[in-house]
Amino acid sequence: MSWNCQHTAFRHPPLYIGSMEVPRPSNRVEIVAAMRRVRLEFKANCVKKRKVIMEVSIDGVRVTAVKKKKKRFFSRSKNRKKAELKPQVIMHHPIYRIFYVSHDSSDLKIFSYIARDGATNEFKCNVFKSTKKSAIAMRARPPHALAPVAARRPPRSRATPPPPA
């Protein structure tokens, strides 16, 4: 499956805290506990937060790593072509595999989602931290960000009955 950037509804640059396998949560308390457990475990192990780009679209959620370019003051080989760096995809979850999305009520910059892993069929809690500027942009943008998703969805005809619940 190729990723089509035309249908990207929202791009967000959070910091990736970490992921951990969790048992299937049955209520919101267990979900928040899993999110806080991931935060505390990675903080206790002194794991640094990574800069990533999160793209949300109708195809799913894709998280790619941001690589820094090395600055060279004295380059000996000026004629050598620079190799293009492809973004490293950390994870990609289709929408139907995402189980739950939540934010931490004690720290509104922290958010997470729980998704079922494709290979192992286990639930993984992925935790992120927003920067202050992007958190403000996220609050202002969602109605506009989801416009391409709503535009691509096929219209529902009135002749067919609604699907059973």
Residue 15's CATH number: 2.30.29.30
List all residues 6 or more positions away from 6 whose beta carbon is below 8 Å from its beta carbon.
148
pLDDT for position 163: 61
**pLDDT tens column, 79-137:** 444 545 567 888 999 988 988 888 888 888 888 889 998 888 899 999 999 876 665 55
Give me the percent of the chain exceeding a pLDDT of 90.
16
pLDDT for position 20: 92
Query: Is residue 147 in some structural domain?
Result: no
Query: Is residue 153 in some structural domain?
Result: no
124/116 Cα distance (integer angstroms): 6
Mean pLDDT of 61-68: 85
Query: Is residue 25 in some structural domain?
Result: yes
Domain total for the chain?
A: 1
Query: Is residue 29 in some structural domain?
Result: yes
Query: Is residue 100 in some structural domain?
Result: yes
Domain housing 32: 5-67+87-134
β-pairing, 50-57 vs 8-12, is antiparallel
Q: How far is CA 55 from the centre of its chain?
A: 6
Q: Which residues pair with 19 in a beta bridge?
A: 126
Query: Is residue 63 in some structural domain?
Result: yes
| pTM recorded for the entire structure | 0.68
pLDDT for position 87: 75
pLDDT for position 146: 40
pLDDT for position 124: 92
Query: Is residue 143 in some structural domain?
Result: no
Query: Is residue 26 in some structural domain?
Result: yes
Residues constituting the chain: 165
More confident residue, 94 or 161: 94
Please check whether residue 116 is in contact with residue 135, taking contact to mean a CB–CB distance below 8 angstroms: no
